[in-house]
Amino acid sequence: MARMKFLCDAERCIECNACVTACKNENEVPWGVNRRRVVTINDGSPGERSMSVACMHCSDAPCEAVCPVDCFYFTDDGVVLHDKDICIGCGYCFYACPFGAPQFPKMEAFGSRGKMDKCTFCAGGPLPDNSPEEYAKYGSNRLAEGKLPLCAEMCATRALLAGDGDTVSEIFRERVTWRGASGFAWGWGVAYKKPGIRRGYEVEGKATGGD
């Protein structure tokens, strides 16, 4: 059984935001809500890196754990989805999520947020697959059509990978090997004030789907 995961290769991400736009368009996401976002660290400085992040569909999903009404569920592929009909808009999933995936259409006094919306791995929701009701509430259900999420499909540099975790990891491992684990050119930083060939790195934590 496939275990769906996202992996964003920060060495390739060029901050074009195509993934953000693709997701928003494909899923008709409400005004003010962005399921996916690109974050740039050290913007403008040497060592600038960009990462595209949305819901990572964690194995031990904190959102599911803290929800007071237990509106989250897992598909067989490991995709984390939720039921908007039950959601009460309390915001706890947003507090717990390490990646800030849950989004809310409103931000008003007295805790009125509206129903939580988040990346569904283009897998829709609890309503019948590819029905108009499902599309209106949750966006498109590409997984039911045998397709992968549109953000990864649209990525200009193939920085964002989505799909079965084993396949995605294998692709990434190939890249890291090809780039060279210690391809860091010593002295270029002193001589030319730039790090030159980027060095490989380790990405740890739940982002890789491991522990």
Per CB under 8 A, residues contacting other proteins are 17, 20, 34, 37-43, 46-47, 49, 51, 53, 62, 65-71, 83, 85-92, 94-100, 103, 107-115, 184, 186-190, 195, 198-205
Instruction: Report, in Å, the least distance between residue 13 CB and other proteins.
Output: 12
Q: What is the greatest pairwise CA distance in the chain?
A: 61
Which residue's structure tokens are 């029905």?
131
Instruction: Report, in Å, the least distance between residue 91 CB and other proteins.
Output: 7
* Residue 22 and residue 167 in contact, taking contact as beta carbons nearer than 8 Å: no
Cα dist. 47→1, 41, 159 in Å?
38, 8, 17
Between 38 and 152, name the residue whose CB sits nearer to other proteins: 38
The H or E element spanning position 82 is: strand 80-82
Instruction: Report, in Å, the least distance between residue 28 CB and other proteins.
Output: 17
Q: Which of 144, 146, 171 is nearest to 160 (CA)?
A: 171
Between 16 and 144, name the residue whose CB sits nearer to other proteins: 16
Instruction: Report, in Å, the least distance between residue 115 CB and other proteins.
Output: 7
Instruction: Report, in Å, the least distance between residue 57 CB and other proteins.
Output: 16
Q: For residue 24, give every residue at least 6 positions away whose Cβ sits within 8 Å of its Cβ, in sequence order, or none.
A: 34, 35, 36
Between 76 and 202, name the residue whose CB sits nearer to other proteins: 202
Between 106 and 147, name the residue whose CB sits nearer to other proteins: 106
Between 17 and 169, name the residue whose CB sits nearer to other proteins: 17
Compute the distance between CA of residue 75 and CA of residue 2 in angstroms, rounded to an integer. 11
- Helices then strands (H, E): number in the chain? 7, 6
